[in-house]
Chain A
Amino acid sequence: MCGIVGLFLKDRGLEPRLGSMLTDMLITMTDRGPDSAGIAIYGADNPAVSKLTVQSDSPDQAFATLEADLGAALDSPVHLRRKDTHAVLEIPRGRLSEAAAALAGISPGIRVMSSGDTVEIYKEVGLPTEVAERFDLRAMSGTHGIGHTRMATESLVTTMGAHPFNTGADQCLVHNGSLSNHNRLRRKLRREGMHIETENDTEVGAAYLTWRMQNGASLGEALEGALTDLDGFFTFVFGTKDGFGVVRDPIACKPAVMAETDQYVAFGSEYRALVNLPGIEAARVWEPEPATVYFWSHSDTPTPTEKAA
């Protein structure tokens, strides 16, 4: 059992409250996943900047000279913003893989939580309320975000085993369920050149979706592909720079509830997670159908499988 939440804002006036609304939803899902918690927030798009969110178990030491060291390696100014065990590194737009490679040389103990233009991922072991407090998640603003409370089944309870999993620029996945063919698929994806860090099943799901999109699939096609290529139980919420997608396996035993108003689209593992949202009493509330892909996008020209805000 795990808990998933997601919130996609249509009303830009709510953007300063995204972190606070999503944190409330996340904490309500504590019963479904008290091991660890994580959140991905898509913030303002600064066209000059890309971002790496990194983590260290000894952040005082690891982050002390990181800003200067990475700046020197990239020969360009880097801005570091620390939050507890995490730090967001703002680097020149488009130099993400270069920066990630440089980081490995500077400090091998540093782990990359997320990489992209607008996404920041914070995740740690502990109760969702503690995790939210440590990273001051309530203060965050953004256009959309997804979160996860974990009750581990497939891999260790560690920072790296927590969701969301980021496997491509601005792409991340949260998952309720368990995949049964992840070992074989991990070997296959690694042969295809995908970077997979952990023994966790969800990371393989995330890498699968990223791999499909790197090979020309739209998000909708990648999520459709998951229905045939992934074996096991899953309710997925997949975040991208523009929005998020939802898909459930054909058996659909892992719960999901969605709500839509003129102001937002919200996802929760249970209706409880949605009850504090503004105007929920009048929202259209429904259960996503099994084996059906849903997508909401801020993009002006969404692909045929996306739904524009």
Chain B
Amino acid sequence: MQTIDMATTPLRDLNATLQAQAEATNLTAWEIENPRGSHAIAVGLDAPIEVTVKGSTGYYCAGMNKQARVNVRGSVGPGVAENMMSGTVVIEGDASQYAGATGHGGTLVIKGNASSRCGISMKGIDIIVHGNVGHMSAFMAQSGNLVVCGDAGDALGDSIYEARLFVRGSVKSLGADCIEKEMRPEHLALLADLLERGGCDARPEEFRRYGSARQLYNFNIDNAY
């Protein structure tokens, strides 16, 4: 276990150290102490390491992640796991706006609530939220899955392309071109896997599925699931 104390180590040194870990590193477990709401903690990682942040963070935690697993034992500010490519980010508390924005891959798990614009412009990331999501979540979502075990706010999936949205609770309103869709066996199987990866104690049958009505963009059959 490697420990980095942000009370004594500058942010740039912390990120440089984590970014320097190679594919074959044997320093796989890292703990970060005293984050105290700092921005851009554990960004740009590209190695199969596990980083645990012991406290709450500010903006852009775990941005641009590849391969790594980042755990945050607290809440995160805006833009957590923005543009993630692969790996896993797990937030024990709440996430502020645009969690998982533009993510291309990997898994983002939020055990509390996410606020507005969760999964905005998501491009392949899987986002599993144990609580609620705020308004305009999955705005212009292009690909990937958003699972919400609680409720969704206004304008869910506005201008959505080909992402799948699963919501267990209520949806305050659907955005333009977002509709409820039937839950077929392949969706139940997919959702069961997502719920297991997210550590959710919920049954796929409790969810409804939402997606694009495909009226708002030039639909190309090659994009369809």
Residues of chain A having any CB pair with chain B under 8 Å: 250-253, 255, 257, 270-275, 285-287, 289-290
Contact = CB atoms under 8 A, between A and B. Distances in A.
B116 A252 contact: yes
Contacts of B77: 255, 257, 270-271
B115 A272 contact: no
Contact of A271 (B56, B116, B134): B56
A290 B116 contact: yes
Contacts of B78: 255
Nearest to A31: B39
Contacts of A290: 116, 134-135
Contact of A272 (B38, B93, B116, B134): B38
A253 B97 contact: yes
A296 B77 CA distance: 24
A270 B37 contact: yes
Interface string B39-81: 0000000000000000011110000000000000001011000
B94 A271 contact: no
A286 to B, nearest CB: 7
Interface residues of B, number: 18
Contacts of B36: 272, 275
A188 B129 CA distance: 46
Interface string B87-127: 00000011011000000000000000001100000000000
Contacts of A252: 97, 115-116, 134-135
Contacts of A257: 77, 96
A285 B96 contact: no
B36 to A, nearest CB: 4
A225 B78 CA distance: 28
The 6 A-B residue pairs whose C-beta atoms are closest, nearest first, are: A272-B37, A271-B37, A275-B36, A287-B115, A271-B56, A275-B37
Contacts of A271: 37, 56-58, 75, 77
A255 B96 contact: yes
Q: Is the interface of A mostly helix, strand, loop or mixed?
A: loop
Contact of A287 (B37, B94, B135): B94
B215 to A, nearest CB: 25
A274 B94 contact: no
Q: Is the interface of B mostly helix, strand, loop or mixed?
A: loop
A271 B80 CA distance: 14
A25 B33 CA distance: 21
Contacts of A275: 36-37
Contacts of A270: 37, 58-59, 77
B143 to A, nearest CB: 24
B96 to A, nearest CB: 6
B58 A272 contact: yes
B116 A285 contact: no
B37 A274 contact: yes
A273 B78 CA distance: 15
Contacts of B134: 252, 289-290
A286 B97 CA distance: 12
A156 B128 CA distance: 45
Given A257-B77, A270-B58, A272-B38, 6 more contacts: A255-B96, A255-B97, A270-B77, A271-B57, A285-B94, A289-B134
A285 B135 CA distance: 20
A274 B37 CA distance: 9
Contacts of A289: 134
B61 to A, nearest CB: 11
- Scoring B37, B77, B94, B96 by chain A CB atoms within 10 A of each residue's CB, the highest score goes to B37
Contacts of B58: 270-272
B87 to A, nearest CB: 24
B53 to A, nearest CB: 13
B75 A285 contact: yes
A257 B56 CA distance: 12
A181 to B, nearest CB: 22
A26 B96 CA distance: 21
Interface string B197-215: 0000000000000000000
A270 B97 CA distance: 12
Contacts of B96: 255, 257, 287
Nearest to A270: B58
A252 B57 CA distance: 20
A7 to B, nearest CB: 16
A255 B59 CA distance: 10
A25 to B, nearest CB: 12
Nearest to B136: A251
A288 to B, nearest CB: 10
Nearest to B38: A272
Contacts of B97: 252-253, 255
Contacts of B75: 271, 285
A234 B93 CA distance: 26
Nearest to A271: B37
13 contacts: A251-B116, A252-B116, A252-B134, A252-B135, A253-B97, A257-B96, A270-B77, A274-B37, A285-B93, A286-B94, A287-B96, A287-B115, A290-B135
